[in-house]
Amino acid sequence: MRIFVALELPDKTKDNLERSSQQFEQFAAGGNFVPKQNFHLTLHFLGEVAPSDVIYVQSAMDKIKDMPAPELAISQFVLLRASDIVCAKLRQSNDLIALHDRLGEYLERDGFEVEHRAYRPHVTLIRKKNFTLPFSEVTKNVKVYNKPFYACNVVLYESVFGADGVQYKPLYTVALTPALQ
């Protein structure tokens, strides 16, 4: 099974990202727009994992429950991977980096490979983008809804490929320590 661990985004944040995505669509000549229900913030992509090993991922996730839910906000829209993917970039958050790093340590202890390059938190909106204008011109017409939010749930997802595209099936959820608001 193909799996990854991600932060679940609040519904209001998904709504705002969908509104921005719809603004991008006005300038699209092609591309694959990510559906709202698939918006998430990846912490660690694990790839193909045997079903019998999922319990070890769950165990690593259980060890981070004491961590605070990170406060996040969208800062801007950017292109990733050789200008092929449009993403919502998140403002730097020490709590998010700590969560990413600690979960990575626990996953590695259980034998999973994790990336060691710099973590660049983002939410993918469009794959294989193609616009009628240069991206710098398009972004001038797309509003960034950046009201801060807390991401309180860490979710283990399975990527399920079907006729309608990929869907992310939640397998396990861990609630982080709520922030004092």
Q: Alpha helices of the chain — where are they, by DSSP H?
A: 11-25, 54-62, 94-109, 135-139
β-pair partners for 155: 6, 173
Which SS3 state, helix, strand or coil, does residue 147 take?
coil
Task: Report pLDDT digits (tens) over 4-44.
Answer: 999 999 999 999 999 999 999 999 998 899 999 999 999 99
Instruction: Count other C-beta atoms under 10 Å from residue 11's C-beta.
Output: 9
Strands, E assignment, the chain: 2-7, 28-33, 41-48, 71-72, 74-80, 85-90, 122-131, 149-150, 153-162, 165-175
Q: Is the pLDDT of residue 180 over 70?
A: no
Per-residue tokens: 138: 């398009």
User: Which pLDDT score, from 0 to 100, does residue 85 have?
Assistant: 93
User: Which pLDDT score, from 0 to 100, does residue 69 have?
Assistant: 96
User: Which pLDDT score, from 0 to 100, does residue 13 have?
Assistant: 96
Residues 8 and 62: their CA atoms lie apart, in Å, by 16
Residue-range domains of the chain with CATH: 2-175 (3.90.1140.10)
Q: Is the pLDDT of residue 83 over 80?
A: no
* Average pLDDT score, the chain: 94
Cβ atoms of 102 and 177 within 8 Å: the answer is no
Task: Give the percent of the chain with pLDDT over 90.
Answer: 85
Q: Is the pLDDT of residue 133 over 90?
A: yes
Instruction: Count other C-beta atoms under 10 Å from residue 121's C-beta.
Output: 22
Mean pLDDT calculated for residue range 156-178: 93
User: Which pLDDT score, from 0 to 100, does residue 181 have?
Assistant: 52
Mean pLDDT calculated for residue range 76-81: 89
Mean pLDDT calculated for residue range 46-52: 96
Cβ atoms of 83 and 109 within 8 Å: the answer is no
Q: Is the pLDDT of residue 140 over 60?
A: yes
